[in-house]
Each structure stands twice: as structure tokens, then as C-alpha cells.
Structure 1
Amino acid sequence: MDVRFLRTEPTMAFPRGRLLAVRGGRLTVLAPDGWDPVGGRADHAEPITREQAEDWCEREGWPSDLLDAVPTP
């Protein structure tokens, strides 16, 4: 099942935005304890490529193998 990645708009708490993923229609956010489901929609999030998601992980200090751990609904 394919995964799409998105990045939220920057905020004071998250100056580089947050990393979101959609798999099987389920929206999740990368949190300290892994991928957490998010209710609602990501209307203002920007779609990004897998490579951009890997770059985001590197800048934020997250291991990029988390991108392979997006849960299946």
C-alpha cells in the first residue's frame, strides 16, 4: 500500500512543520512515540516526496527508517 507524505505549515512550536503520512486513507503524524493517528484533514499541509521526507527526518534528527513504519489501517 502506497504512502504519501506531507509537511504542515511552520508554527512557533514546530518551525519546520510536522511530518504527516497518509496510508490507506488514514492520516498520521510523526510523534516522539511513532506514528499517531490524526482526526480530520490536512488541508493546509504541503505534499512532499519521499526524498523530501527523508531530508526532513535528517534535519529534525529522526531516523529515516520511520518512513517505512507508517501503520497500515
Structure 2
Amino acid sequence: MLALRDGQLYVLAPDGWTRLGGPAPASSTPLNREDAEDWCEREGWDLHLLDQVPQLTA
């Protein structure tokens, strides 16, 4: 799963969110929160990870 926050792209990895360089893959599909929660449940990921996407600090 990919997440975009503050213009930065992150990928969900087994050890948490990892920052990526470059644009999102052209084959990626946007998800709303409900769909992302459904994906986490289906794949066995902790739903709280959706609230832990890193933020850029000022």
C-alpha cells in the first residue's frame, strides 16, 4: 500500500512506512480510508498503521 502525505510518497513495509523517491507507479489505484481499512483487514495488517504515516516536520 502507498500513502501520500505532505507531497511525500510512502510504502507500507513489514517494519512500518518507508519513504519513497519519485512518483507513484502509473498502475497504482487511489483508495479512500474505508477501502484502505478493508485492504488492511483482508491482508492481516493492523488498521492503526493507517494513522502512522510519517509527517514532514517544519
**TM > 0.5:** yes
**Identity within the alignment, %:** 60
Task: Give structure 2 stretches of 5+ with no counterpart.
Answer: none
Decide which of 19, 27, 32 is 1:37's aligned counterpart.
Answer: 19
Q: What CA distance in whole angstroms lies between the structure 1 residues aligned with 2:40 and 2:20?
A: 19
Q: More helix by proportion, 1 or 2?
A: 2
The alignment's TM-score, normalised by the length of structure 2, stands at: 0.89
Count of matched residue pairs: 55
**What do you get for the CA RMSD once the two structures are aligned?**
0.7
Unaligned runs of 5+ in 1: 1-18
Report the TM-score, using the length of structure 1 for normalisation: 0.72
- The structure with more strand, counted as a fraction of residues: 1
Task: Give the deviation of 1:48 after TM superposition.
Answer: 0.7
